[in-house]
Structure 1
Amino acid sequence: MNSVTFLCHPFHRGGVTRWMVEAADEFANQGYSTSLVTVVPNGFISASGRPTMTDLLNEYKDIKVLTKSVDLTFELGIQSYRELVYYSLVVKNIPKGTPIILSDDASVWGAGKLLSKDYPIIGVLHSDDPAYYYLHNRYKTFLASVIAVSYRIKRNISDDNIKVIPCGIKMADFPIKVEESSFLKLIWVGRIEEKQKRVSDIARIGNELNNRGVKFKWSIVGHGDDTELLQMIDKFGLNKQFEFTGWLDKIEILKLMADSDILVLTSNYEGMPIVVMEGLNMGLGVVSSKVSGVEDITEHDEAHRIVRLYDIGDTESAVENIISLKVSLDSDKREEAKQIAAELYSIENCIKKYIDVFKHMKSFGNEEVSKFNTISLIINNIFSLIISKLRYLKYRVTS
């Protein structure tokens, strides 16, 4: 039987980790023996109430979950120690020659380098983000294949080994709601932070809609530090127009989308936003800043009727697009949105493309990688333990 393994960091951090689980499940549906290798954090300082990957995997019975419990030595120790923990976990459980798909974590990519002598390693670039370009540039010689989720990412990398495959989603079968309403129903989904998601534009767009006399309700779904955003909304006197739901599971998000009109994306940069794929699948119109991935949708013949783009930060243009799209958004266009999602982003089709990559990727067996023995693991263990204890002491003193 064909097999594939996903190597992932311990916490569920959003779209990337959700994709890894759904992709692993789809590989299983297509006849692959599928494993996900991760660690189980014990007493981590950085947990912040986030679910672990093993929590996320509980409902997926066809994915073999291979784990090891780790303590603060893993969290606060050195990166090379974390790499060796991942390396040892894979070598112990996964047959040589199994393709391994990496999550978006430097320690995981470092482990991929160590494993590349005996396993074909696939690096996935999920975002048009310097952090991903850094990982690619540092580890590209150890990768059997590189996958970019958008054409912008591919254009930014000079690598003949790169393929473009959107991450893809499972198509949800929710009925489309088209109801006459006295107000516009907007939704934004993501991590509430400014650097990537540019959440301050949410308040600015809301204020401009209000100034133009548009009645709206806006659901903000996600977790993060929302202090400054809430202050801006309060300053504009828009508290009653916004609802902050906090973290929701996927089904709850889809239900909320089904009851909305337009998904708004305000980001400074993205890869291929899963939330946009899900929004289209739920029959929503999309108004988005011009970011990686969303640009690719506009190549579809019918996309201009469903997806509107504006220059990053141009909130007036965003508002104009929201207003014009709402006027034209009827049941036919909502059905078109669902069809575009199925055509471009069905996870079944995307995983078939991965399987084709497996057939043609370069062979593994990188001679630059030296073998690691028990002595090196012990040395790293001791060194990491010392570093982690010092960092934990500093944390206790300063917190």
Structure 2
Amino acid sequence: MPIMQSKRLTVLIISTSYPLWPGSVSGIFVKHLATALDAIVDVSVITPAERGIQHNPTLRPRVHAFRYAPDALQVLAHAPGGIPAAVAGHPWQLSLLPGLMLSMLLTCIWHGRKTEILFANWSIPGVMAALAGKLLRKPTVVTLRGEDANRATKRGLHRYLLSACMQMCDAVVVVSQALQRRLTDEYPQHAEKLHMIPNGVGEAFLALPLPKMQTDSLRLIFVGSLIPRKSVSTLIRALALLPLHHTLTIVGEGPEEDALRDLCDSLGLADRVTFLGQKHPEELPGLLAESDVLVLPSLSEGRPNVILEALAAGRAVVASDIDGNRELIGQDERGLLFPPGDVHALTDRLQRLDSSTLRVELGLAGRSYIENCELSWGHAARRYEALFRSLKAG
């Protein structure tokens, strides 16, 4: 008797960040997961529209960009740092949030009628998806990536949204053990809803040749949004204390760029720091291949994908000693940690990496960690599919 194949699930992904044009890095890790999921389930995505952008709705996964304001005002969701950074830089944009949430809810209901699972990313989409799911009687999953919980330590809208997600969603996925512990302590009544599924990393990073022994310049790289919590100024000030042949490449854009350029000029670093701006995600493996050390000096993070990518690439990592970073690096096992915001401690860690032997050892340990833990997008997608099927069966 032939073995019956399981019918492919239909999954609607809801996210406030998702790349709508080639080269955009808005929610790029959501797209990586969506693409991996689309190989095993039928995926469609809803996300806010972006000013002046006409996306191609025929591409896979299918994307529906919903309007929430006149085109000139559709500026809330896709800038570096997402909605929190947009509101912090331009407080008037908070007035756009009710329209975005209402439009998201209506779009969830409309497209949710034809899907079996509603899968949201972050708190705002989580609440809107949960409301739609209750109305449609469809299971709802939300993934929290750290910043939701970090912002919710204060009272206010963020706290309310996180609590509503925990209460209303059928399952809550977290990407780190630290976040799982924090939410278990904060919401013990919902602990059974929590599932830890780490993000993955692309195969292109694992395919890079491992770094060779070098004894000359130290080529540092930072990748991320140029926003206050990334604390790029700490890295620039540390570079000023390092030998002149050490250089820094900054990949990303954001509201702090002008201030960071001014800081480089004031410290006499203009010829040692290169601002590349935003780069297409496919260019990142090549940029890491031309670097010796990834530095992530953030003051807060979830479980940063850029560290996963650097580890897969076999590059040494220096990062601030915060939960998400520490979980990936260990106690100086696959990189070096320093107290957040401590310029002199960061300088010390970078000076230790003048040793090419240590850089190579850390790089080898990082790649082995990625391989041994099966931290690929395909593996993450299969774990999500299993969770979706368990909810549908229940």
Q: Same fold (TM over 0.5)?
A: yes
TM-score range, shorter chain: 0.7 to 0.9
Is 1:123 the counterpart of 2:142 in the alignment?
Answer: yes
Residue 164 of structure 1, CA deviation = 1.8
User: What residue in structure 2 maps to residue 342 of structure 1?
Assistant: 371
User: What residue in structure 2 maps to residue 287 of structure 1?
Assistant: 318
CA distance in 2, matches of 1:269, 1:37: 28
Deviations 1:113-134 (A, max 9, x none): 3212122222211124215655
Aligned residues: 344
- Give the 5 Å matches for 1:328-339: 328-329=357-358, 331=360, 333-339=362-368
CA distance in 2, matches of 1:349, 1:22: 12
Distance 1:193 1:78, change over 3 A: closer
User: What residue in structure 2 maps to residue 242 of structure 1?
Assistant: 273
Distance 1:33 1:335, change over 3 A: same
The TM-score, its normalising length taken from structure 1, stands at 0.77
Root mean square deviation of aligned Cα? 2.9
Residue 63 of structure 1, CA deviation = 1.3
Q: Which protein is bigger by CA-based radius of gyration?
A: 1
CA distance in 2, matches of 1:22, 1:274: 11
Identify which of structures 1 and 2 has the higher relative contact order when contacts are C-alpha pairs closer than 8 Å and 6+ apart: 1
- Give the 5 Å matches for 1:1-399: 1-9=8-16, 12=19, 17-29=27-39, 31-42=40-51, 54=55, 61-69=59-67, 71-72=69-70, 75=74, 79-95=97-113, 98-104=116-122, 106=124, 108-117=125-134, 118-128=137-147, 129-131=150-152, 134-157=160-183, 158=187, 159-160=190-191, 161-172=193-204, 173-178=207-212, 180=214, 182-194=216-228, 196-209=229-242, 213=243, 215-224=245-254, 225-299=256-330, 304-327=332-355, 328-329=357-358, 331=360, 333-344=362-373, 345-361=375-391
Contact persistence 2:12–2:115 (CA under 8 A): no
User: What residue in structure 1 maps to residue 82 of structure 2?
Assistant: none
Structure 1 stretches lacking a partner, 5+ long: 44-50, 365-399
Residue 38 of structure 1, CA deviation = 2.5
CA distance in 1, matches of 2:132, 2:222: 39
CA distance in 2, matches of 1:334, 1:10: 31
Structure 2 stretches lacking a partner, 5+ long: 1-7, 75-92, 153-157
Matched to 1:99, the amino acid is I
Distance 1:134 1:205, change over 3 A: farther
Distance 1:71 1:330, change over 3 A: closer
Contact persistence 1:16–1:103 (CA under 8 A): no
Deviations 1:206-239 (A, max 9, x none): 1222xxx362010011001322222222222111
Q: Secondary structure at the match of 2:225?
A: coil
Counting aligned pairs with the same residue, the percent is 21
User: What residue in structure 2 maps to residue 379 of structure 1?
Assistant: none
CA distance in 2, matches of 1:333, 1:42: 43
Distance 1:246 1:134, change over 3 A: farther
Contact persistence 1:205–1:316 (CA under 8 A): yes
